[in-house]
Amino acid sequence: MSLLVVGSIALDSVATPFGETADAPGGSAVFFSAAGAILHPVQVVGVVGSDYPLGVLKALERRGVDLTGVQQVPGESFRWKAKYSYDLSSRETLDTRLGVFAEFRPKLPDGFRDARYVFLGNIDPDLQLGVLDQMTHPALVACDTMNYWIQSKNDLVLELLRHIDILMVNDSEARELSGDWNVYRAAHWVLKRGPRMAVIKQGEHGALLVSPDATFKVPAYPLQEVFDPTGAGDAFAGGFMAYLASTDDLSTPNLRRAMVYGAAMGSFAVEAFGIHGLENVSAADVRARVRAFKDLVHFETGEDHR
């Protein structure tokens, strides 16, 4: 079952209390595919400028990522600069430079149009809609966005909600979009506007899956060392969507499992700067972490012993 992502392919300059990077490869499509390809082949749609280190993309290709939909055009690649707070729980965007993304109009290669699983990674909502228009019959469309787009293109973000199955955003984005500080209410606000599910990522507090009749919560994996939270959300999405694509099963128990695969992938992403945390992770490593999650949350009610 084919899995497609459209998103940013970026050069990130990130400062955390533990170090900093300058022009390190990142972006929503890169984190998503670095994580997703561990479980399932990924097709990528995006654009890079003439300054992008192509070796990074070649390394992804060797791991099962199809880059036929990535264009390289003259100009500067998308650049993003951010600084994290001392406890890594919040970050400030210092600079966003769209570069070649400003003129990008995605055109899907023929072999990509019939993908069954689609992730519209964080990127201009206009481009996300443009990709969706070219898809023939996706089984599941999930979509991320960011404060930047919620503020600058709110109407298009709302239009997008009418065409997707899952909105997958972090808690601050859900609050900003809905205008409600309570994330559960914010999730239900989203459900009234089109999507049949909302996945709210909550950083060190895990993630929440909300549908009209059920709520499921997965914790974040307890790690003693966290270096860089950048891309954890996209790695989560990569794990979640790749698990669904590899199993082609949208039942409730499988969606819950996909949440745990997402959380496992997010936990690998934050263990090193940029995409390095995902570089040497195997499917067996991911499965082992999923088992560790099961232990982490397992408990007996005690009622059987009465």
Instruction: Figure out which of the listed residues 66, 171, 228, 234 binds ligand AMP, where binding follows CB under 6 A.
Output: 234
Shortest separation between residue 148's beta carbon and ligand AMP, angstroms: 4
Residue nearer to ligand AMP on the CB measure, 116 or 148: 148
Residue range at the interface with ligand AMP (CB under 6 A); choices 22-30, 102-110, 208-216, 295-303: 22-30
Q: d(Cα 125, Cα 183) in Å, to the nearest integer?
A: 22
Q: d(Cα 176, Cα 159) in Å, to the nearest integer?
A: 16
Residues that bind ligand AMP (rule: CB under 6 A) add up to a total of 17
Beta strands at 42-48 and 3-6: parallel, antiparallel or unpaired? parallel
Residue range at the interface with ligand AMP (CB under 6 A); choices 21-29, 107-115, 127-135, 179-187: 21-29
Two structure tokens written together for 23: 């022009």
Count Cα atoms within 13 angstroms, Cβ side, for 179: 2
- Say whether residue 244 binds ligand AMP (CB under 6 A): no
Instruction: Figure out which of the listed residues 138, 233, 239, 277 binds ligand AMP, where binding follows CB under 6 A.
Output: 233
Count Cβ atoms below 10 Å from residue 165 Cβ, excluding itself.
16
Shortest separation between residue 204's beta carbon and ligand AMP, angstroms: 13
- Fill in the amino acid letter for 205: H
Helices 252-269 & 283-297 angle (0-180, nearest 10)? 110
- Say whether residue 70 binds ligand AMP (CB under 6 A): no
- Fill in the amino acid letter for 240: F
- Fill in the amino acid letter for 230: T
- Say whether residue 146 binds ligand AMP (CB under 6 A): yes
Residues of this chain that bind ligand AMP (CB under 6 A): 8, 10, 12, 26-28, 80, 96, 122-123, 146, 148, 230-234
